[in-house]
Structure 1
Amino acid sequence: MPHPPPGVPTWVDLGTADLPDATRFYAELFGWEADVSGEEYGGYTTFRLDGHAAAGAGPLFGEGQPTAWSMYLATDDADAVAARVEAAGGKVLVAPFDVMYQGRMATFLDQAGAPFSVWQPGSMRGADVFDVPGALTWNELATRDVEGSAAFYGAVFGWLGREIELGGRPYLSWELDGATIAGMKEMDETCPDDLLPHWMVHFAVIDCDGAAAYARSLGGTVLRAPTDLPIGRCALLQDPQGGAFSILQSVNA
């Protein structure tokens, strides 16, 4: 299938405190097969769904770094994105660098402190599969600065925000060239004060309730029970190492 154009989510990966156990958990939950790279890539693992690249995972390298999923936006010029991030009030955490012949990447904080990355493809294009059970289906920014974030991503990637209502709460749907590509919600009083702005990744499932129960049986935690939304049924989960992610049963499933 065609890979996402610049400015659109193209890849997600997990930095985890226990790569073998995370591999066990996600392989069982989503039916992924683990393709482990050589030592030159630090054991980075590509999760494949029916042979197609769906997501990645690797060990943590920074002391005190939490287990977490990261979202990558496609770009054809990581260095130009870095310049626009700084001009828009964000911060370059990891300057653009080459991942051998696979591609070029960089990691940033937006103006409110939410981390995200970009991927300039080489031989590795990004995910090969989206929007099917076991694959990435949605990315959502949770932030306390909705207005500032709308301006930031608009300036850096050309996104246009469209206000909608989702589950009785205001919600911003982001569009690029007429296509809906991501969403944003405001972190309200129900969010802990120490919870930082972040991007949440959503994986498609056939049965949200069944997948949530199965994740619990594998050692995961259900942080928010399956809930009906206009777009489908969604649950917030946590893997055994503490990595948070969501699952979404589409209304079309």
Structure 2
Amino acid sequence: MVTRDTPWPEGTPCWVDLAVDDIDRAVAFYGGLLGWNVQRGGAEVGGYSLVVHEGANVAGIGPKMSPGVPTAWTTYLATEDTDRTAARITAAGGTVVVAPMDVMTLGRMAVAADPAGGVFGLWKAGDHTGFGIANEHGTVVWNENMSRDYAHNREFYGSVFGYRYGDIDDGMIKYATLDLPHGTVGGIGELPASLPQEIPAHWMTYFSTPDIDADVARVPGLGGTVAQPPFDTPHGRMAVVADDQGAVFSLITPPPTD
């Protein structure tokens, strides 16, 4: 378990939120699946709601920023200067989708896309510093960028955030950890050729669960779908699912620790 009440280091995934058409449905789905306690936001924040675990913020659920925006989880990367990082994104070949903007006194955000089209957010902490708790069951445990332009995306994210890469290549997949001076903060990989071409480049959010098989079995009954049933890896037992409004995310039961 990791807890924090100060801003996360630059380049670290520091927050995730879900953009949906129906917040009530999302609250019901994730409450039924992960047991989330959601503090509903008022009109002054457009209904943006916070998922709270052990008294700390772990994720957000809010309305879509504009019509036509996909129902999706967004990973936010910490920055000390949203405007400066947005400029670096453009210079490195990415696209700024939502220009830097203040969110009251909570922080300053932007939304961008990497050269392969994977969408992510930027967050400069104000009153809201991001995850208050992570790496605990029911919270975020991993974030990764996946695309069909692995080499180009490595260059892009290294240029913008200064990542170094810990290569994990078993001859079947191309994958690396995103490493910063304080440690590993996420992953980057190549989408397998076997996956349908309509699956776009993306940032995937992983939520930890103590019993992935039981949770995945509940997904259809809650209105969601199972994209990839549970499977074992050296890093834990994983699955890919979608909620009842179509947002895709992963579940993982990490291996036991001594």
Normalised by the length of structure 1, the TM-score is 0.96
Shift of 1:178: 5.1
Which of 202, 205, 215 is residue 201 of structure 1 equivalent to? 205
- Once the two structures are superposed, the pairs formed by residues 100-119 of structure 1 within 5 Å of their partners are 100-119=104-123
The yes-or-no answer on 1:59 pairing with 2:52 is no
1:235 matched to which residue of 2? 239
Bigger shift: 24-33 or 87-96? 24-33
State the distance in 2 between where 1:23 and 1:82 align.
32
State the distance in 2 between where 1:61 and 1:75 align.
21
Shift of the 211–178 alpha-carbon distance from structure 1 to 2, 3 Å rule, reads: same
Which of 180, 184, 191 is residue 188 of structure 2 equivalent to? 184
The 3-state SS of whatever aligns with 1:80 is helix
1:45 matched to which residue of 2? 49
2:34 matched to which residue of 1? 30
Which of 93, 100, 107 is residue 96 of structure 1 equivalent to? 100
State the distance in 2 between where 1:95 and 1:71 align.
16
Shift of 1:64: 2.1
Q: Structure 2 counterpart of 1:31, which letter?
A: G
The 3-state SS of whatever aligns with 1:139 is strand
Which of 88, 91, 95 is residue 87 of structure 1 equivalent to? 91
8 Å CA contact 1:102, 1:123 repeated in 2: yes
State the distance in 2 between where 1:178 and 1:41 align.
34
8 Å CA contact 2:173, 2:190 repeated in 1: no
Q: Structure 1 counterpart of 2:214, which letter?
A: G
Shift of 1:51: 2.1
2:11 matched to which residue of 1? 7
Q: Structure 2 counterpart of 1:11, which letter?
A: W
Deviations 1:140-192 (A, max 9, x none): 11101111111111010000112114695332111111511111221122222
The 3-state SS of whatever aligns with 1:213 is helix
2:129 matched to which residue of 1? 125
Aligned pairs, number? 253
Shift of 1:237: 0.6
1:149 matched to which residue of 2? 153
The 3-state SS of whatever aligns with 1:27 is helix
1:222 matched to which residue of 2? 226
The yes-or-no answer on 1:139 pairing with 2:147 is no
State the distance in 2 between where 1:5 and 1:167 align.
32
Q: Structure 2 counterpart of 1:156, which letter?
A: V
The yes-or-no answer on 1:170 pairing with 2:174 is yes
Normalised by the length of structure 2, the TM-score is 0.94
Shift of the 166–74 alpha-carbon distance from structure 1 to 2, 3 Å rule, reads: farther
State the distance in 2 between where 1:213 and 1:69 align.
21
Q: Structure 2 counterpart of 1:158, which letter?
A: G
Percent identity of equivalent pairs: 41
Shift of 1:62: 2.2
Shift of the 178–104 alpha-carbon distance from structure 1 to 2, 3 Å rule, reads: closer
2:74 matched to which residue of 1? 70
8 Å CA contact 1:92, 1:108 repeated in 2: yes
State the distance in 1 between where 2:255 and 2:171 align.
14
Q: Structure 1 counterpart of 2:84, which letter?
A: A
Q: Structure 2 counterpart of 1:29, which letter?
A: L
The 3-state SS of whatever aligns with 2:123 is strand
The yes-or-no answer on 1:19 pairing with 2:23 is yes
8 Å CA contact 2:109, 2:123 repeated in 1: yes
State the distance in 2 between where 1:162 and 1:75 align.
22
8 Å CA contact 1:37, 1:45 repeated in 2: yes
